[in-house]
């Protein structure tokens, strides 16, 4: 896929690694919450993350199946 950009209120870019590089800027520009804490999750909810990760359904046929431990790591990164 060739890289290209489209400009409007924010500059949207497409191509290799663009989502990772520009998602933070997009979140900031639109004042979106960037963490679970910014969504209002408190310590009580944080303590439930392992249980939530364990309850996730792991479907077959996806690009790569995540383990419950990997899902918990993602939740912790979002904390």
Same domain, 46 and 14: no
Domain range holding 61?
Answer: 34-79
Torsion angles phi and psi, residue 4, rounded to 5: -150, 165
R_g over Cα of the chain = 16
pLDDT at 13 over 70: no
Same domain, 48 and 65: yes
Same domain, 26 and 43: no
Same domain, 41 and 54: yes
Could you read off the pLDDT of 25-63 as tens digits, one per residue?
778 888 889 889 999 999 999 999 999 999 988 777 767
Same domain, 22 and 44: no
At residue 1, the pLDDT reads 45
What is the Cα–Cα distance from 13 to 15, expressed in whole angstroms?
7
Same domain, 55 and 69: yes
């Amino acid at each position: 896929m060739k890289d290209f950009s489209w400009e409007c209120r924010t500059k949207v870019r497409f191509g290799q690694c663009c989502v990772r590089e520009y998602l933070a800027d997009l979140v900031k520009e639109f004042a979106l919450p960037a963490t679970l804490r910014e969504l209002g999750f408190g310590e009580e909810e944080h303590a439930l993350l392992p249980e939530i990760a364990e309850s996730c359904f792991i479907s077959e046929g996806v690009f790569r199946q995540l383990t419950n431990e990997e899902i918990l790591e993602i939740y912790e990164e979002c904390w």
